[in-house]
Amino acid sequence: MKKKVFALAALAFLLAGCAKSSNGDVQSAAEVRSGSEAQSEVSENALTEEELSEFTELFNTAKYNGFLDSGFNSPKDIEWDDVFQYGAGINTKNISDEEEKAYLDEIHHDQLYETLIAIKKTDMMGFIEKHAGYEYAPDKDDLDTWEPAEYNEWVYLEKYDSYYFENYYYNSYWNCRCIYGEKEGNVYTLKVRMDTDPEHRRSNNTGKNYGRYADRVLKVTKENDELVMMSNEIQWDDLCVKEKTFDVDMPQFDSTLRFYTYNVDPDEAEIEIVKDGKHFDMLVNSVSSSMGLKYLTSIDDIGFFDFNADGFQDIAVLGNSFIGEKVILHEYDDTANGFNENAELDEENTPELKGNLTIAGVKKYLLGDNENAVYSNYKEVYAQMAKVYHIADDSYKFDLVYIDDDDIPELVVDCGGCLSLFAYEDGYIHRLMDGWGYGAFGNYGYSYAERKGIFFNENSDYAGAIHYTTVMSKRDKGEIATDYYVKFINFNDLDGNGEPSEEELEAEGGGTVEYYNGAGEQISEKEYEKLASKDGSICDSKDLGAHMDYDTLLTELEKLK
């Protein structure tokens, strides 16, 4: 009669972490089993070293490596963009020049910068059925595509019925080791350790077998060398600080967030945010100093409140650093659905917090008596948002502009190289632009048609050999987006590759113009004229920038009705 797969000793090993030898090395399954009579109970179902090596080899291939990235409770929870990011062993390596050009046209680039993965949708469907056990056709939501398509995101081309992705880490995925496993029937339970060797391209966290780099416990079935996935449980609890690990319900999320604090690295306390068992975000608590970028070395307290008047809860983290106590502010970005480090506060640079550098003290400093963050008019909202930016960097400039045809202005924040634009809606901030760069890489900046809700951008490649004029407008949700654009090709593209050579720049002819809609699809001049007829001329636009300091902005707000 077969003995049970999980005797108590084995279960403790599998879920609490590997046994350690006296020199700190991970013991083999055989060494673990020989340690006591209780452990020998599982020897009949525990995998041999040879079997563990076979699983290690499989998970170190492009075919299966992507299944390790994100946790899943069932096959239908699998993040397919993780699985296919390395090609899953089925990617097309030699697509035609025509297909490659179609991809580049879609993302508005003139060349590939990384290895291009191209996978037919039908091949994806076959892979999913074979290795997840159900029929499914992945769509843009599964593969995290953007509209309009952008570099470093999955792109779908209907003409070829294929998905495309440029991967910097191609052929450089996770190394891993299967360190323990057991079998019951055809179901294998495997403990997989992520390799954090500093020589490995993906491993920037040497020796960190916790958080995103924690061990995985997978359940799979296996027939020959073909695996079917059942679940992947990331061991988030390994090495966490138990008393500083907790659940939080934040109103902008549909399920509870779990905050894991780790203090393994004495130079950096880390906070991982997990949602539905999967990595959601990581709070980077950096501290600026004359010695370069440092981090909080311990976490003392965390607070949750809306400090930037956008209606979403933000995060304040109190902790110690090598230069004293700090509070790091993280604002929620609803466009990216994550948290961005906004500012750091301390007693030395913030006199109002002298003797009261606490979460409660910071909340009082930021919100005053408005502890529930409820505002009665746009002036209060803009003043609050500007205050947060001013605290982050007192060199930021501000302005008030009239984008729409109403009498409520919009707020511009200019950091000198990037622009943010905010509108007032339903008592809170609406982000129209959030840190949009300008002044580099051929981007001349942004302008707007006053009270028409129309925006313009001028951008060039190859020192002006190719120039884009883009027309955008506000959306009901999210940031402003492209309506259409014009591509001016100011050289004679003799070889048709879209890139100017010295010979082509000197050649006579050229000067062609192409027109595209907001989805990046080429349209006729007549279709373009129809789109452009309602927008007016770019010659009538005003530069979108800022010139007021913080105090001047507050004075101007007070003057308005």
> Of 7-11, 161-165, 212-216, 242-246, which gets the smallest average pLDDT?
7-11
Compute the average pLDDT of residues 49-62: 95
pLDDT tens for 68-107 read 999 999 999 999 988 998 899 998 878 999 999 999 888 8
pLDDT of residue 37: 38
Please report whether residue 126 resides in a domain: yes
Say if residue 96 is in the same domain as residue 53: no
Say if residue 140 is in the same domain as residue 215: no
Q: Are the C-beta atoms of residues 116 and 125 closer than 8 Å to each other?
A: no
Please report whether residue 20 resides in a domain: yes
- Residue 230 token pair: 């059942």
Range of the domain at 181: 8-63+174-234
Pairing mode of beta strands 454-461, 466-473: antiparallel
Say if residue 440 is in the same domain as residue 534: yes
Say if residue 319 is in the same domain as residue 439: no
Provide the β-strand partners of residue 548. Answer: 398
Percent of the chain with pLDDT over 90: 66
pLDDT of residue 324: 94
Q: Are the C-beta atoms of residues 430 and 418 closer than 8 Å to each other?
A: no
Residue 90, Ramachandran bin (φ over 0: left; ψ between -120 and 50: alpha; else beta): alpha
Phi and psi torsions of 495, nearest 5°: -95, -5
pLDDT of residue 34: 37
Render 253-302 in DSSP notation, one character per residue.
SSS-EEEEEE--STT--EEEEEETTEEEEEE--EE--TT--EE-SEEEEE
Tokens 């416990």 locate to: 217
Please report whether residue 18 resides in a domain: yes
The total domain count for the chain is: 4
pLDDT of residue 33: 36
Say if residue 148 is in the same domain as residue 38: no
**Confidence band of 477 (pLDDT split at 50, 70, 90):** confident
pLDDT of residue 204: 47
Provide the β-strand partners of residue 485. Answer: 470, 516
- Residue 336 token pair: 């990216």
Distances (CA, A) of 317 to 236, 287, 346, 362: 20, 12, 12, 10
Compute the average pLDDT of residues 282-306: 92
Answer whether residue 29 shows pLDDT above 60. Answer: no
Total count of residues recorded for the chain: 561
Q: Are the C-beta atoms of residues 417 and 437 closer than 8 Å to each other?
A: yes
pLDDT tens for 527-554 read 999 888 877 666 788 999 999 999 999 9
Answer whether residue 318 shows pLDDT above 50. Answer: yes
Say if residue 45 is in the same domain as residue 115: no
Answer whether residue 30 shows pLDDT above 90. Answer: no
Phi and psi torsions of 107, nearest 5°: -100, 5
Across the chain, mean pLDDT equals: 86
**Confidence band of 508 (pLDDT split at 50, 70, 90):** confident
Q: Which of 132, 167, 202 is the last residue of a domain?
A: 167
CA–CA separation, 384 and 373 (whole Å): 10
Q: Which of 167, 185, 213 is the last residue of a domain?
A: 167
Q: Which of 115, 144, 167 is the last residue of a domain?
A: 167
Please report whether residue 555 resides in a domain: no
Provide the β-strand partners of residue 431. Answer: 422
pLDDT of residue 283: 96
- Peptide bond between residue 148 and the one before it cis (omega within 30 degrees of 0): yes
Say if residue 219 is in the same domain as residue 263: no
Please report whether residue 457 resides in a domain: yes
Say if residue 39 is in the same domain as residue 74: no
pLDDT of residue 510: 78
**Minimal CA–CA distance to 295: which of 344, 243, 358?**
344
pLDDT of residue 336: 84
Please report whether residue 422 resides in a domain: yes
- 106-138 in b/e form (b: 16+ CB < 10 A) is bbbbeeeeebbbbbebebbeebbeebbeeeeeb
Answer whether residue 198 shows pLDDT above 60. Answer: no
pLDDT of residue 138: 84
Tokens 């760069």 locate to: 437
Q: Are the C-beta atoms of residues 244 and 270 closer than 8 Å to each other?
A: no
- Residue 374 token pair: 């409820």
pLDDT of residue 4: 33
Say if residue 295 is in the same domain as residue 332: yes
> Of 90-94, 459-463, 511-515, which gets the smallest average pLDDT?
90-94
- 174-185 in b/e form (b: 16+ CB < 10 A) is bbbbbbbbbbee
> Of 147-156, 321-330, 414-423, which gets the smallest average pLDDT?
147-156
Q: Where are the beta strands (DSSP E) in 369-417?
A: 397-401, 410-414
Please report whether residue 557 resides in a domain: no
Say if residue 362 is in the same domain as residue 288: yes
Q: Are the C-beta atoms of residues 481 and 434 closer than 8 Å to each other?
A: no
Compute the average pLDDT of residues 31-59: 70
Tally the C-alpha atoms within 13 A of residue 474's C-alpha that lie toward its C-beta.
20
Say if residue 227 is in the same domain as residue 309: no
CA–CA separation, 128 and 85 (whole Å): 14
**Confidence band of 13 (pLDDT split at 50, 70, 90):** very low
Say if residue 523 is in the same domain as residue 401: yes
Task: Read off the CATH number of the domain in which 337 is found.
Answer: 2.40.128
**pTM for the full predicted model:** 0.82
pLDDT of residue 538: 67
pLDDT tens for 323-356 read 999 999 999 998 888 999 999 999 999 999 999 9
Please report whether residue 465 resides in a domain: yes
